Amino acid sequence: MYWSSAVAYCVGLITTDGCLSGDGRHIEFTSKDLELVETVKRCLGPQNRIGTKGRGDGRRRYFRIQIGNVELYRWLCSLGLTPRKSLTLGSLDIPDTFFADFFRGCLDGDGNIMAYQDSVFPNSLRLYVRLYSASRPHLDWQQATLTRLWSLKGYQTTVPRAFRLNYAKRESLNLLRRLYYASDVVCLLRKRRIAESVLTREAEVVKLANTRVSEARAERLGGSTPPLRSTSPSPRRLP
């Protein structure tokens, strides 16, 4: 198996929403987003069919693909993935070159991008990038890698039945620029649209601020200089 942007992205999807069966051969990926399942099929199992399955009470249907490939299975295991990985997942052997693609896959599989107006400051935007996992050691590794590669400072919180890695506005903007580094990267379109909207807005805000600074500087340089006051004593009239 050879690394590529698409392969790294699919490894991220399998890490979050995939499953390695106990037979040493089959990899299953299930998602409510058909787009993601089609991406896995295109990249890893073009000959496999996409089916559906129910979860919970059976009312909600999810898309599913099962790939039977011993070589792929063993390669995923060599990276650190295992059957029943949810609670035992730790660090993975992901090349730094493809970590952005891998993390984007994780985010599309089990994360979100939240952007909304601040209720206190209406002109300000609240932004968070969040990744969920049932394994704290895995989130520790993700957080440490993002810090090592891009000096990002995240923090973790506990939510029902999972842990959450959070990045707030400034860190989120930096992270999103890293993840969507090209217009043709493999990704979930609806999340990309959120990222692009936020990044476009931020670029406009920065541009406006720079314009105002330039105008203020030009006004100072082009304005009239007030006359200097003389510090010498006024001449006295001699008697």
Residues 18 and 81: their CA atoms lie apart, in Å, by 10
Task: Look at residue 206 in the predicted model and tell me its pLDDT.
Answer: 58
Please report, to the nearest 10 degrees, the dihedral formed by the alpha carbons of residues 161, 163, 179, 199 taken in order: 90
CB within 8 Å of 137: residues ≥ 6 apart: 89, 90, 91
Predicted pLDDT at 117? 77
**pLDDT for 223:** 59
211's CB contacts (< 8 A; 6+ apart) are none
Give the pair of three-digit tokens for residue 209.
């601020």
Task: Show the domains of the chain with their CATH numbers.
Answer: 5-207 (3.10.28.10)
Q: What pLDDT, on a 0 to 100 scale, did the predictor assign at position 96?
A: 98
Residue-level pLDDT at 219: 73
* Cα 97 to Cα 116: distance, rounded to the nearest angstrom: 32
- pLDDT digits (tens), the chain, 239 positions: 889 999 999 999 999 999 999 999 999 999 999 999 999 999 998 889 999 987 766 677 899 999 999 999 999 999 999 998 888 899 999 999 999 999 999 999 999 999 887 766 666 788 999 999 999 999 999 999 999 999 999 999 999 999 999 999 899 999 999 999 999 999 999 999 999 999 988 877 656 556 666 666 777 777 554 554 544 444 444 44
What's the confidence (pLDDT) of residue 57? Answer: 64
Would you state the structure tokens that stand for residue 67, as one six-digit string?
Answer: 């790939």
Helix runs in 114-188, H state only: 136-150, 169-179
Residue recorded with tokens 């006295």: 236
